[in-house]
Structure 1
């Protein structure tokens, strides 16, 4: 019981509707078990990042096989990108664990990759079209590459 309970003086104070809505938004809890939009993005990323690591590793092996004047530089850039992806994947998995979300292996049907996930007791499937995944991976790899090549643009150091 707070000091204001039982104090009739506070009952007459007006509360603006917008303030009440802001208060309710701040204290709104997510639906029991259901993943929020932010959590769904995290699930998408935890599905996508291992694919990105695999693709980067294949590129690294190809760069190592082919003789090239800038071979060592390419190897270093790809390795830096893989390190950043691994770091992001690790922190993402930790955050999902803190939120009690588990993502399980995939199955593919009609060009859609499905992953089963359990979010605070609620079980569901997350599906992503293979082509959408490919395009998102190319955008993300370009972003990682630009972060490695131009770290001053993102505020990070090499």
Structure 2
């Protein structure tokens, strides 16, 4: 008679990992946009004469993020997932989450989050990041 071994922890799907990463990036992006808007409002009385346009665009992007987060929460529920804890520190984001009853951890470096946010913002602004730029424009 063979002994009954406990089953190994099931692996997460790529889609489930992507959803957690996207959630973390969107939460940071929401805060980042608020900070950017505050900075632009301070500049409004100064040198930047078109800040009102930038503020409106950033507010428009910002207003769409809660809907994306809500959709992710629905998908989390479908996959039996939930974020347990999220800690932001300088240089990284650390999170713990449940997926189908098992606990996992994800850590994203600040550079990764920044790059993901830049890609999302470039899409919103219609900027092609793949186009070649001079070194002084990066």
Relative to the length of structure 1, the TM-score reads 0.64
Q: How does 1:111-150 map to 2 (within 5 A)?
A: 111-146=91-126
Q: Which residue of 2 aligns with 1:44?
A: 21
Q: Contact 2:86/2:93 (CA < 8 Å) preserved in 1?
A: yes
Report how far residue 81 of structure 1 moved: 0.8
2:77 corresponds to 1:104: no
Report how far residue 127 of structure 1 moved: 1.8
**Matches of 2:90 and 2:120, distance apart in 1:** 24
Q: Which residue of 2 aligns with 1:83?
A: 63
Q: How does 1:11-26 map to 2 (within 5 A)?
A: none
**SS at 2:126 equivalent:** helix
2:60 corresponds to 1:60: no
What's the Cα RMSD here?
2.4
Report how far residue 69 of structure 1 moved: 2.3
**Matches of 2:88 and 2:34, distance apart in 1:** 23
Relative to the length of structure 2, the TM-score reads 0.73
Q: 1:63 to 1:110 in 2, by over 3 A?
A: closer
- Structure 2: give runs of 5+ residues left out of the alignment: 1-7, 128-138
Matched positions, count: 117
**Matches of 1:90 and 1:114, distance apart in 2:** 21
**Matches of 2:95 and 2:63, distance apart in 1:** 25
2:72 corresponds to 1:92: yes
In our comparison, the structure showing a higher alpha carbon Rg is 1
- Structure 1: give runs of 5+ residues left out of the alignment: 1-30, 148-158
Q: Report the more deviating stretch, 32-41 or 103-112.
A: 103-112
Q: Which residue of 1 aligns with 2:3?
A: none
Q: Which residue of 2 aligns with 1:35?
A: 12
For 1:73-120, what per-residue CA distance to the aligned partner results, in whole angstroms no more than 9, with x for missing partners? 122101111122222112111211222101122346895432111111
